[in-house]
Structures are given as structure tokens and as C-alpha cells.
Structure 1
């Protein structure tokens, strides 16, 4: 066997420097990707939270501020679409949500209301929004009227 002589070794070789730089670059790239994905998830969650607040605002207005007869009129007239932009403005300015309903589909981001008539109205709210290239929807179902549970 041949003995290794460490006394003659004066410093790092070029290969050792390149290997250490490569390991550092790989670790830095992984950390950067994790941070970038964390920011994307944070933005996505923030947008979904805002949409959930808008949906909750519309639902609470329907439950507490809109009369049974007004809902029946909306259903009979085919007024079942609310633009998300308009709902957001109404939420910030505390406007009446009844005036936001339209019979035309706004196309991009909107809330659709479906009303099933009966002793108690079964109301189904569906929110459609484009979130980072994916068209997603949220649903909320509740009842309005005089009924017993």
C-alpha cells in the first residue's frame, strides 16, 4: 500500500472549489424555490380569503336584509348574477345588495344565485373566479323563510 503524504498538500485544488460552489448553488436554488412557492401559496390564500369574505357578505345580506318577497321577485325576473367587483364595492360602501343583481352573466368573476321555491327558500350561491389561471368555484347553500329545523 502506498502512504498518502498530506504534508506536501498546500491548499485547495480547483476541483474542491468547484464542488463546494456547486453544492452551495444547489442549496441556494432549493431555498429560493421554497421561498417562491411560499409566496405563491400566500397570494392564493389571500385571494381565496377575500372571495370568501365577499361570499359571506352576500349571504348575510340575503339572510338579514332582503325580504322573502324580494327574493321571489329576483327569481321570477331571472336576476341571478352579481359581479364580484360590484359586490366588493357594495361591501366597502355598505350599499344595498339587492340592486347589484342582474339577469346577464357578467362572464369572468361573478356570483350566481339559484333559488328553489317551497315552504322555505333553498338558496344556493356559487362564486366563480379565475385564480391564477384556474377557474374555481365556491358554493354556499342556506335556507330563508319560516320553517322549523
Structure 2
């Protein structure tokens, strides 16, 4: 009886090494892609929070620093705009917002648009509805943040 002697391979063949490199490469690409997307989303979120603070600052400034009569004067001018250079929450609160407003629409975003109208449901037209629309763009996509509140003698 003859014994068949088998030779056992004691190392890895080139196919196993290539497969492991391919799997490792796919995992690394997925991790880096996820990291890039996460960074973009963090940047968008930061901008959104900044614009939300600006919108709140405009609302706060109008509620606290503007009288009903001054709002009625602004209403007579039509839509009013706050340009990019004045879109700083500290500046909006620090200065009188009436000094920062313009009647002509800005050409570049971001900017705030104020739409002022009388409340139809109010008694004797003593309430004004103020709508704040913040127009901005991130990565060439257009967005709007809007809020509406009341100001008046009630």
C-alpha cells in the first residue's frame, strides 16, 4: 500500500490577499464618504441655526423697539428689506431696526423681507400682522424661513 502524501500550503495565496485588500478598501471608502456627508450636514445645520437666530432677533427687535405707529409708517412703504450686511443678531438688537431697513429688494441672499398687513379679524384695525421671511441659499439651493406675529393696541 502506497500512502499518498499531501502537501499542505502554509501561506496565503495571492487571491486571498487581493480579496482582503478589496474588502478593506470598500470599508475605508464608505467611512470617508460618511465623514464627508456628516461635515456638509454640520455646516448646513450651523448656517440654519445662525439664520434662525437672525429671524428671532428681527422679531424681538420689532416687538420691543418699534411702536405701533412706526410699524404703520413702515406699512405704508410696502415690503421692507433688511440686507445681508445688517444680518447680525447683535447689530439688529443693538441698533434701532428702523434705521437698518430698506425699501428696495436686495440682489444677493441672504436677506430678510418684512410683509406688514392689517389683521382682518381685529376690532378697529388695531392689530398689525408682521411676517418675517428670511431668504437664504446653501449650496445653490434656495430656502426660506418665515414667521408671523402680531403687534398692536390690544
Give the TM-score taking structure 2 as reference length: 0.86
1:137 aligns with 2:144: yes
Deviations 1:118-141 (A, max 9, x none): 320011110100112111001000
The range that moved more, 55-64 or 91-100, is 91-100
**Matches of 2:72 and 2:115 in 1, distance apart?**
11
Equivalent-residue separation in structure 2 for 1:102 and 1:13 (angstroms): 74
Match of 2:116 in 1: 115
**What residue in structure 2 maps to residue 59 of structure 1?**
59
Superposed, 1:23-42 pairs within 5 Å as 23-42=23-42
What is residue 82 of structure 1 aligned with on the other side?
82
Q: What residue ranges of structure 2 are gaps of 5+ in the alignment?
A: 119-124
Secondary structure of residue in 1 paired with 2:146? strand
* Corresponding residue for residue 9 of structure 2: 9
SS at 2:11 equivalent: coil
The TM-score, its normalising length taken from structure 1, stands at: 0.88
Give 1:87 deviation, angstroms: 2.5
- What RMSD in Å do the two structures reach over aligned CA positions? 1.9
Please list every run of at least 4 consecutive aligned residues from structure 1 whose deviation after the TM superposition is greater than 2 angstroms: 89-93
- Unmatched tracts of structure 1, length 5 or more: none
Is the 2:74–2:80 Cα contact (8 Å) retained in structure 1? yes
Q: Pick 1 or 2: higher relative contact order, CA cutoff 8 A, min separation 6.
A: 2
Query: For this pair of structures, how many residues does the alignment match?
Result: 143
Show the counterpart of 1:70: 70
